[in-house]
Amino acid sequence: MAFAEVSKTCCVITGASRGFGRATAFALAHAFAESGCNSHFILLSRDEKKLQETRNGIMELDSYAKVHTVVADLGEMKTLEETVNNAFSKVEPNQVSHAILLNNAGSIGDISNRIKDMTNIRAESLQDYFNLNISSPMFLISKFLKRFEGSSCTVINVSSLMAVESFSHFSLYCTGKAARDMMCQVLAKEEVWFVIVLIFPSFVHC
């Protein structure tokens, strides 16, 4: 992706405290520094210390980057709207020519049970799983597109092989990833003017 012609880019990254989210933040910071692009980062996760580490890493790569951190549980529906409003308030949209949302935060969920044995678990834990892995990214996309409607927008969904191939015991993960893929396919039909990217990382340990 070329950034040279972009005056200001805002990257919203969920799950930026470690793993793929942090690695992508560093890769983007490197690309922005190389191209001389002004960048804003909004990083979200529940771990303040690790978010600060990601922030420091970005600043080392791109000393001009403006990096905002938001500590929040994205699976908590009661506070999700407040969390998202708080996150997006960090950057004035009229300063942004290109906005990128990396919907990366996610969890594998309980893989100790086959579906028929799920009577062992609390029914609420199913809802908790889908809150974090489906409802929250959908809500975030919606708020993101409204907030940055005057900018060129890119939504990136971190998908998986398990979105398209079934694996025993991974019913939560496979279902969540397949739903997120379909969410993006619907978006692509609805919003032809922005870019949606699905990433299928192979097994990574960052």
Q: Among residues 21 and 96, whose Cβ is nearest to ligand NAP? A: 21
- Give, as ranges, the residues between 171 and 200 that touch ligand NAP (CB under 6 A): none
CB 133 within 8 A of CB 74: no
Of the candidate residues 9, 38, 45, 151, the single one contacting ligand NAP (CB under 6 A): 45
Strands (E), the chain: 8-14, 38-45, 66-71, 98-103, 152-158, 195-199
Instruction: Report the nearest approach of ligand NAP to the CB of residue 142 (Å).
Output: 18
Compute the distance between CA of residue 100 and CA of residue 196 in angstroms, rounded to an integer. Answer: 10
**100: closest CA among 139, 156, 30?**
156
- 199 three-class SS: strand
Map residues 120-149 to x or -, x wherever contact with ligand NAP holds by CB under 6 A: ------------x-----------------
Map residues 53-92 to x or -, x wherever contact with ligand NAP holds by CB under 6 A: --------------------xxx-----------------
Q: Among residues 24 and 154, whose Cβ is nearest to ligand NAP? A: 24
Compute the distance between CA of residue 87 and CA of residue 97 in angstroms, rounded to an integer. Answer: 18
Is there binding between residue 102 and ligand NAP (CB under 6 A)?
no
